[in-house]
Structure 1
């Protein structure tokens, strides 16, 4: 195992546990999403996320669905405290400068609460039906690596600028290319990896950080979770994870898992 809380430190401080809730904007009316977002904030979650898909995931691919960034703008207007993000924006769907401008705008709507999540995308149907080329995975990752400096540059020249320093979250676990992009550009790394797979990827991420002279502890680790937090949480916490995100879909957004993880967070941070 990687050293205890080795990725959860910022300077001399151990990062507190944070809980995100991803409200998938599928199979629901907007009023359902709005109601769920208000409840998530009232529960005390640290972040509300949408996603960047154009169709529902799962068997009912023809069900109701809304675009993630415009949903996020609405959630930004109705909430006051929680962090906000798209988990994650597909780099191929928007010009990098446009994505930076969109994120900056929602950041102002929210008063500085945006987490800018980006990834390489993976759903071929979405690319094809919306008129985007669907290149091989390696090229998509390479294009993400090329886009991130452009995003950062645009964030630096927009008028007005983002409210504060907007953290960049990168999702993906490709061990030869994606983790190098994470090492160079991410404030937060988001992954679905678990167990020995996660241990191996963390080791590689630290290796790549060392190659470019970056402190790997400057990157926050983020995972998607479910189940009992008292069983699932401690092993991940030992590996340095500090941002734990549950996911739920409409039309009836079930927040029971989120409640359990928020209660566990409070125990861990007390």
Structure 2
């Protein structure tokens, strides 16, 4: 172990105390073992990462893919996976970590787990037997519907897992997917309506989706009279975010703040 530290002394005495603790305390046996698996010189950053990383993540396949600045975020993502994926047991997580392909990025590894999401942190209050709408609450359902619509819905599972977005399937023809965004007060608002192949949505369908959601207490973020996607010319110029709607980037926060003020005043 000492040979792995190199010839130069560590910058702070506490690093030696940390190493001693990891190798002498049976509770930290896994952390000590991970340090021994590191190829090359073991610097202060490796010691810090190994000390603070969640025990399940203590494996060379993770240690070789993260920096010290990412430790808190990586632990948070793991906590999110544990909270939103019922199959994410310690044993299943550990096995998948051990089997990470050398060419697989850490972001890809986490995204694959979140595609198994089946209990999002928040979802709109729409009954499961609603005759018009079906809330997509699992990554499996999102991937399946995304393939049928030929869009990127399957990649949006992290947004649903965290409760930031929700996607609702319109059961009638022509089919559509309503995209909802959640405000800081927990209220969901309609942000966009996506038809098959992300084509221009049918105005009648947009109106029907909007009216249905409005009847359930879910207003639309867009306030102008035409359909949510707005002018196709703006889309071609890149003037707005296609995943949010026909508003300029700098206007989105103000719209959300305005909606929150309206909800507060109404209460």
Q: What TM-score do the two structures reach when normalised by structure 2?
A: 0.24
Q: Looking at secondary structure, tell me which structure has more helix per residue.
A: 2
Structure having the higher strand fraction is 1
Higher RCO (CA < 8 A, seq sep 6+): 1
Normalising by structure 1, we get a TM-score of 0.24
